[in-house]
Amino acid sequence: MKKSLLILSIFLASCFVCFAQVSDEQSEQAFKIMESTDDVLAYHGDYSATISLVIEKPGKPKESLQYKIFERTDSELMTIVQLFPEADKGNGFLRDGENIWSYDPISRKFTHTSLKEALGESDVKIDDINQSETHWRDNYTVSGFEEGTLGKFPVYIITLDAKTTKPSYSKVKYFIRKDVPLTLKEEDFSGSGRLMRTILIPKYTKVPAGYVPTQMLLRDELNKGENTQQVVSDLTFDTLPDKIFTKAYLESLN
């Protein structure tokens, strides 16, 4: 009796492994979908936007932050100016390639750091910012490929396992719209397979260059009630004057 149970368990386990495995064809399809999620986004040229963040933490009042962002993606130029709260108004950041300057309007001083240094202590890696075209294939293997529904949208559910140490999470699950390859939901898992963070992107805005995620909700799954909502507004894709990407511009705002 015991022997039969053991054989049955082994059979069931091997069936599970077989079904859980993703074929090469599906894997290729999954990577293509992931690559198309990058292509569909408006990541080129000049743009400016207002980013509002609402941070909710359990037992604490909501915290609101607002920034104005100007970026010239092709030249790796970026200027960020804090608009809210009033106490931090005028704080600024200027990125020029690998160099980053932060500006303190009270002391009217700039502090220089490099992108490497700025990211050195944080969870963000250079790969998260300077994503190569092959970053999906280089760093992940596809461990799950399904079709399903998220809200009213039919979606592909793609599970990726990190095969290198570059990704910040060892397993990530993406819910991608079938009609337009837009990521609607991302679930980040720890090495032990526990859900750590969920990112919901319910709203995209279509612009001539592509799509821009205009509403994003980051949910900390370990600390229930801790959420960050990001709303992008005042989005423009007009050519920005060069002076915006200068220290003088940050100084002139105060």
- Sole window of 3-11, 120-128, 173-181, 201-209 interacting with other proteins (rule: CB under 8 A): 120-128
- Sole window of 20-28, 166-174, 228-236, 237-245 interacting with other proteins (rule: CB under 8 A): 166-174
Q: Which of residues 189-248 bind other proteins (CB under 8 A)?
A: 190-192, 194, 196, 222-226
Interface with other proteins, residue 44, by CB under 8 A: no
Q: Which of residues 16-35 bind other proteins (CB under 8 A)?
A: none
Interface with other proteins, residue 130, by CB under 8 A: yes
DSSP 3-state assignment of 182? coil
Least distance between other proteins and beta carbon 168 (Å): 6
Q: What is the DSSP string of 190-241?
A: -TTS-EEEEEEEEEEEEETTEEEEEEEEEEESSSTT-EEEEEEEEEE-SPPP
Interface with other proteins, residue 116, by CB under 8 A: yes
- Can you say how many angstroms the Cα of residue 145 is from the centroid of all Cα atoms in its chain? 21
List CB contacts of 122: < 8 A, sequence separation 6 or more.
none
Least distance between other proteins and beta carbon 76 (Å): 11
- Binding residues vs other proteins (CB under 8 A): 57-59, 116, 123, 125-127, 130, 132, 138, 162, 164-165, 167-170, 188, 190-192, 194, 196, 222-226
